Amino acid sequence: MNDPVPRPVPDVQGELSRAALDSAPYAMFVCTDDGMLERMNAAFTRLTGYTPDDLLGKRSFLSLLDPSELARRRLPALASLSAHEAVPYDDEWHLLTHVRSWLPIRLALSCVEHAPGERRWVGIALDLSQQVQVASRLWYVTHHDPVTSLPNQTLLDERLELAIHRCAVQQVGLTVMLIELDHLRKLRSTFGPPAAELALRIAAERLREASGPEDALACLGGSQFVIVTNETGDGARLLAARIQARLAQWVDVDQNSVALDASIGAVSYPDHGNTPETLLRRAHVALGIASAAGGGLRFFSSEMDSQARRRNELETLLRVAVHEASHSQLHLVYQPQVTLSTGEIRSAETLLRWRHPSLGAVGPAEFVPIAETSGLILPLGEWVMQTACREASRLLRRCGQLPRISVNVSAQQFARQDVVGMIERALNAHALEPRHLEIEITETVLLGDSSAAVGCLRSLHDMGVEIAVDDFGTGYASLAYLTRFPVHRLKIDQSFVRDMLTHAPSHAIVSAVVAMAHSLGLRVTAEGVETQGQAQRLTELGCDEAQGYWFARPVDAQGFYHMVAPLGSGARR
């Protein structure tokens, strides 16, 4: 009987390995020590676009990698590694696809024994394009302003540092300009956030047009932009003038024509610093000076640095004065407002004074803006209201009658504080009737959130508190605008009163305000009256009241008592 012909033993393990390779969800390949491709699965074809006929036995997988990357950093020499030394390899590369596009991948290589003394390398290629897109988008979002799409503070710092390094090497200078839109906050409160965002986008586009091709432009959020330019000296001033002229051109926002006026603070490298932090900090200082001066361009100077240090010192000291239990550094003074036709003291303005133990008297023109920008105006304003009501109540009990006490309430308080509640607390705490109190507001309050302001002022009016508009004529409110608000009195700004006898336009403004206010049923008070001639002319124009050094300087509570006590005596007689 013949022996049966032996059948070949199937290579079950090899078939299983090939099936596993073909069905793997990730792109996989097998190559020799020299990189020649021997096997690839369907996922590798989908990833690269190459078929097995294109590659197997014909090309090394190294030929699919970016040659510039291979020149910079090489893969380990696979053939030179022993089996024990061959460790798995894992790194990111770019792979050339069949359509000649570069695809970011993660490449992993591992050595396997194919036969005694013979080995193969198994590779896995993972597509990183989605991760790269996500990372790129994340980088863009974290380095750009969401409204204007300009670089933000983070990217600005990086670019400014590179620009400083370049200037140091080339021994040239640069200029950093910090640009702030002057009226964006008012625009936002008047027309809403969408209108303010539209204005920001328009401003960004105009800054792109005005700046040079090599200038770096960034948006710091809020209402501030930065330009880093190679221009210095007169060239930088010309650029600033071009920027302001372009921004100031009228633009339609929410069907209203507005001008995007700007203030600019500028610093030069290396004169004013050699780090991004120093240059930007000093640009902020110069910007503050420019804004306080009503706009324009200001280059940083050492004097500005002294002013900034003084401001920081005063803010710290004022915070102590406001929060100390006794408030011993703070006190109120009162300046009478006199009826021109009779000479009667009809009301008195309450003015805050600060005397520091070592610095001495600090003027309100210096510390009130600090209080407003630091938020201290809220506790300070409540202390003034409480103190004014307390002292007014005492004077009323001593004299029997009392001129109306007028207290300034800032726009910051209206925006961030319950003004009605604050006034009610003060009146109730000191048993003072609302008819003895008047609040003075600026036009900014009327131009803010008008619906909230109207509600607040109407509540005060219904309580019996009178309302006066201070410094009228210096802002943007019109007399027609006042018809929406329960206002009782206008105070003409002292700048018009001071010049009315020598400057025809100032005289015309005073005359027009008196006539138009009376037509609306409002009383008029002139501020800053310092001469008999001014008082006489105001009387002839029909102005109701006047306030100023010609009549009386501000006095403390005791001095004010001596002014009003005769009124009470006359009433009792």
501-533 pLDDT, tens per residue?
Answer: 999 999 999 999 999 899 989 999 999 999 999
* Confidence bin at 479 (pLDDT 50/70/90): low
Angle at 37 between CA 32 and CA 40, to 5 degrees: 120
**pLDDT value for 326:** 83
Same domain for 264 and 332, yes or no, is: no
Check which CATH number belongs to the domain holding 92 and give it: 3.30.450.20
Same domain for 90 and 175, yes or no, is: no
* Selection from 358, 297, 354, 364 nearest residue 321 by Cα: 354
Same domain for 394 and 514, yes or no, is: yes
**pLDDT value for 276:** 94
Distance of alpha carbon 313 from alpha carbon 392, whole angstroms:
33
* Selection from 79, 32, 86 nearest residue 59 by Cα: 32
Query: Percentage of residues in the chain with pLDDT exceeding 90?
Result: 59
* Selection from 222, 99, 220, 238 nearest residue 150 by Cα: 220
Lowest mean pLDDT among 72-86, 158-172, 489-503: 72-86
- Among residues 90, 105, 132, which one ends one of the domains? 132
Helix (H) or strand (E) holding 112: strand 102-115
* Selection from 207, 199, 319, 216 nearest residue 254 by Cα: 199
**pLDDT value for 77:** 55
Same domain for 151 and 127, yes or no, is: no
Check which CATH number belongs to the domain holding 178 and give it: 3.30.70.270
pLDDT at residue 79 greater than cutoff 70 = no
Helix (H) or strand (E) holding 127: strand 118-127
- Beta strands 224-229 and 489-492: pairing type? unpaired
Check residue 11 and report its DSSP letter.
Answer: -
Distance of alpha carbon 154 from alpha carbon 280, whole angstroms:
13
Distance of alpha carbon 139 from alpha carbon 152, whole angstroms:
12
Same domain for 386 and 328, yes or no, is: yes
Name the β-bridge partners of 407: 350, 439
Cα 42 from chain centroid? 55
Distance of alpha carbon 94 from alpha carbon 107, whole angstroms:
9
Contact of 92 with 104, CB cutoff 8 Å: yes
Higher-confidence residue of 18 and 458: namely 458
**Structural domain harbouring 192:** 147-300
Distance of alpha carbon 283 from alpha carbon 199, whole angstroms:
23
Please compute the mean of the pLDDT values over residues 117-122 and round it to a whole number: 79
**pLDDT value for 188:** 80
pLDDT at residue 297 greater than cutoff 80 = yes
User: How do residues 183-213 score in pLDDT, each as one tens digit?
Assistant: 887 778 777 788 888 889 999 999 999 998 8
- Average pLDDT over the chain reads 87
* Selection from 357, 437, 323, 355 nearest residue 391 by Cα: 437
Residue type, 2: N
**pLDDT value for 186:** 75
Question: Which residues neighbour 69 within 8 Å (Cβ) at sequence distance 6 or greater?
Answer: 93, 94
Same domain for 151 and 279, yes or no, is: yes
Contact of 386 with 434, CB cutoff 8 Å: no
**pLDDT value for 557:** 93
Distance of alpha carbon 365 from alpha carbon 367, whole angstroms:
6
Q: Does some domain include residue 6?
A: no
Residue 91, φ and ψ in degrees, nearest 5: -165, 170
Distance of alpha carbon 47 from alpha carbon 503, whole angstroms:
82
Same domain for 280 and 331, yes or no, is: no
Lowest mean pLDDT among 21-35, 40-54, 454-468: 21-35
Check which CATH number belongs to the domain holding 473 and give it: 3.20.20.450
pLDDT at residue 572 greater than cutoff 50 = no
Q: Does some domain include residue 308?
A: no
Q: Does some domain include residue 545?
A: yes
Please write down the HEC assignment for all residues of 183-209: CHHHHHHHHCHHHHHHHHHHHHHHHHH
Strand residues in 342-453 grouped as ranges (E): 345-356, 360-362, 404-408, 437-441
Same domain for 252 and 291, yes or no, is: yes
Find the radius of gyration of the CA atoms of the chain: 38
- CA dihedral sign of residues 497, 502, 506, 510: positive
Q: Does some domain include residue 351?
A: yes
Q: What are the tokens at 206?
A: 């105009």
Contact of 530 with 325, CB cutoff 8 Å: no
pLDDT at residue 17 greater than cutoff 70 = no
Task: Please give the model's pTM, rounded to 2 decimal places.
Answer: 0.62
**pLDDT value for 477:** 54
**pLDDT value for 491:** 94
For residue 264, give Cα distances in angstroms to 168, 237, 246: 25, 10, 14
pLDDT at residue 114 greater than cutoff 90 = no
Please write down the HEC assignment for all residues of 33-44: CCCEEEEECHHH
Same domain for 474 and 508, yes or no, is: yes
CB count in 10 Å sphere of residue 275: 13
Please compute the mean of the pLDDT values over residues 457-482 and round it to a whole number: 81
Query: Percentage of residues in the chain with pLDDT exceeding 70?
Result: 89
Q: Does some domain include residue 118?
A: yes
Q: How many domains does the chain have?
A: 3
- Among residues 101, 132, 163, which one ends one of the domains? 132
Q: What are the tokens at 364?
A: 């309100």
Please compute the mean of the pLDDT values over residues 488-498 and round it to a whole number: 92
Same domain for 268 and 335, yes or no, is: no
pLDDT at residue 534 greater than cutoff 60 = yes
Same domain for 468 and 340, yes or no, is: yes
Strand residues in 411-534 grouped as ranges (E): 437-441, 466-472, 489-492, 523-527
pLDDT at residue 548 greater than cutoff 60 = yes
Distance of alpha carbon 129 from alpha carbon 48, whole angstroms:
13
Distance of alpha carbon 437 from alpha carbon 454, whole angstroms:
19
* Confidence bin at 553 (pLDDT 50/70/90): very high
User: How do residues 226-235 score in pLDDT, each as one tens digit?
Assistant: 999 999 999 9
* Confidence bin at 546 (pLDDT 50/70/90): very high
Distance of alpha carbon 116 from alpha carbon 572, whole angstroms:
125
**pLDDT value for 570:** 46
Q: Does some domain include residue 142?
A: no
**pLDDT value for 117:** 67
Q: Does some domain include residue 207?
A: yes
User: How do residues 239-256 score in pLDDT, each as one tens digit?
Assistant: 999 999 999 888 777 677
Distance of alpha carbon 222 from alpha carbon 224, whole angstroms:
6
Q: Does some domain include residue 284?
A: yes
Same domain for 270 and 333, yes or no, is: no
